[in-house]
């Protein structure tokens, strides 16, 4: 149980285009989802915390107008990278937690984004 | 902001030896400390965790210790095997500004056969 999926697993796009990444909890309802970005040989950096039905909370330094997060249901959160540029190329990972169990994070498999 | 420091960044050991990774955290309110193993291109996998009311926890070849006063926690892997080679991240659940997990920078472990 507690499986999180991400789609797509990898994407290549041209500079200036927008890319949407989906994060789904397949067998549980996730009240909170987190979006991380991981550059090569670096750690996971939290971008934003997403709660169902409310606006996402962005970490300092993360542009909310560039990284649009929508958490419309208890099983789906989306991250849209708007007007992507080569420096946005990274590994994007989401995670989800159950209500009342904030400790345990269930990670998605990640989405590798390459912006040309 | 809240911070987790991790050392060493790279660790190379001979198969069968022990490996120790150390972390410190800054948020005194943190009470949950997970450790993750990440293989190249894969998602992080939880390998062990410890809560602040416990000083030590062991699971087969893996053990974690916590010194809450000093805000230190460590991962110990005994009898290392080549398949233990991966990047290991320590983390702390921060309660400042909402619940969020702060990750250390990671330790790249190489186990030489």
Residue B12 has pLDDT above 90, yes or no: yes
Strands, DSSP E only, in chain A? 4-7, 10-13, 19-25, 32-38, 45-51, 57-58, 67-73, 76-81, 90-98, 101-107, 111-115
Residue B50 has pLDDT above 80, yes or no: yes
Whether A49 and B100 lie within 8 Å, measured CB to CB: yes
Residues in chain A, total: 116
| Per-residue confidence (pLDDT) for residue B49, from 0 to 100 | 96
Rounded (5°) CA angle B9-B92-B106? 15
**In the structure, what pLDDT confidence band is assigned to residue A94 with cuts at 50, 70 and 90?**
very high
How far B1 CA sits from the closest chain A CA (Å)?
9
List, for residues B19-46, the tens digit of each pLDDT value. Answer: 999 999 999 989 999 999 999 999 999 9
Tokens encoding A21: 């990444």
How far A26 CA sits from the closest chain B CA (Å)?
16
Residue B1 has pLDDT above 80, yes or no: no
- Locate the chain B residue with the closest alpha carbon to A92: B43
**In the structure, what pLDDT confidence band is assigned to residue A109 with cuts at 50, 70 and 90?**
very high
Residue A99 has pLDDT above 80, yes or no: no
What is the torsional sign of CA A52, B105, B34, A22? positive
The mean of the pLDDT values for chain A is 93
Whether A107 and B106 lie within 8 Å, measured CB to CB: no
Q: Cβ atoms within 10 A of the Cβ of B91, count?
A: 26
| Per-residue confidence (pLDDT) for residue A101, from 0 to 100 | 80
**In the structure, what pLDDT confidence band is assigned to residue B53 with cuts at 50, 70 and 90?**
confident
List, for residues B76-105, the tens digit of each pLDDT value. Answer: 999 999 999 999 999 999 877 778 899 999
How far B47 CA sits from the closest chain A CA (Å)?
12
Give the whole-angstrom CA distance, residue A89 versus residue B33: 30
Whether B44 and A107 lie within 8 Å, measured CB to CB: yes
| Per-residue confidence (pLDDT) for residue B80, from 0 to 100 | 98
Q: Cβ atoms within 10 A of the Cβ of A14, count?
A: 8
- Check CB contact of A110 with chain B, cutoff 8 Å: yes
More confident residue, B98 or B65: B65
**In the structure, what pLDDT confidence band is assigned to residue A54 with cuts at 50, 70 and 90?**
confident
Beta bridge partners of A79: A21, A69
Which positions in chain B touch A42 (Cβ < 8 Å)?
105-106
Whether A43 and B103 lie within 8 Å, measured CB to CB: yes
More confident residue, A77 or A1: A77
Tokens encoding B25: 């955290």
The percent of chain B in helix, strand and coil, each rounded to the nearest 5, is 5, 60, 40
| Per-residue confidence (pLDDT) for residue A53, from 0 to 100 | 82
- Locate the chain A residue with the closest alpha carbon to B45: A107
Give me the mean pLDDT over the A90-98 stretch: 95
Residues in chain B, total: 113
Name the percent of chain B lying above pLDDT 70: 99
Give me the mean pLDDT over the A18-41 stretch: 94
| Per-residue confidence (pLDDT) for residue B98, from 0 to 100 | 76
DSSP A86: G
Q: Which of residues 37-96 of A touch B (CB under 8 A)?
A: 41-46, 49, 57, 60, 91, 93
| Per-residue confidence (pLDDT) for residue B4, from 0 to 100 | 96
- Locate the chain B residue with the closest alpha carbon to A108: B43
**In the structure, what pLDDT confidence band is assigned to residue A98 with cuts at 50, 70 and 90?**
confident
| Per-residue confidence (pLDDT) for residue B54, from 0 to 100 | 85
What is the torsional sign of CA A1, A74, A50, B28? negative
Those residues with Cβ within 8 angstroms of residue A11's Cβ, 6 or more apart along the chain or in another chain: A19, A21, A111, A112, A113, A114
Whether B100 and A46 lie within 8 Å, measured CB to CB: yes
Encode A23-40: b = buried (16+ Cβ within 10 Å), e = exposed: bbbeebebbbbbbbbbee
Whether B103 and A32 lie within 8 Å, measured CB to CB: no
Q: Cβ atoms within 10 A of the Cβ of A47, count?
A: 24
Q: Which of A43, A46, A107 shows the shortest C-beta gap to B105?
A: A43
Give the whole-angstrom CA distance, residue B91 versus residue A6: 23
What's the number of CA atoms in the CB half-sphere (13 Å) around residue B74?
Answer: 13
């Amino acid at each position: 149980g507690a499986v999180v999926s991400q789609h797509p697993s990898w994407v290549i796009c041209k500079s200036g285009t927008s890319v949407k990444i989906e994060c789904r909890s397949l067998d549980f309802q996730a009240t909170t989802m987190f979006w991380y970005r991981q550059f090569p040989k670096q750690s996971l950096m939290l971008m934003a915390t997403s709660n169902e039905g409310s606006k996402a909370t962005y970490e300092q330094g993360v542009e909310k107008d560039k990284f649009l997060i929508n958490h419309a249901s208890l099983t789906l959160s989306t991250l849209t990278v708007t007007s992507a540029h080569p420096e946005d190329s990274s590994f994007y990972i989401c995670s989800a937690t159950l209500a009342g169990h904030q400790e345990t994070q269930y990670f998605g498999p990640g989405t590798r984004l390459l912006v040309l | 902001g809240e911070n987790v420091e991790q050392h060493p960044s790279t660790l190379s050991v001979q198969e069968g030896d022990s490996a120790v990774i150390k972390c410190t955290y800054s948020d005194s309110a943190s009470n949950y400390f997970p450790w993750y193993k990440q293989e190249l291109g894969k998602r992080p996998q939880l390998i062990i965790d410890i809560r602040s009311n416990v000083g030590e926890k062991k699971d087969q070849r893996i053990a974690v210790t916590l010194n809450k006063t000093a805000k230190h926690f460590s991962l110990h892997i005994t009898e290392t095997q080549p398949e233990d080679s991966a990047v290991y991240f320590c983390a702390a659940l921060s309660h400042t500004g909402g619940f969020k997990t702060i990750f250390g920078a990671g330790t790249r472990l190489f186990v030489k056969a």
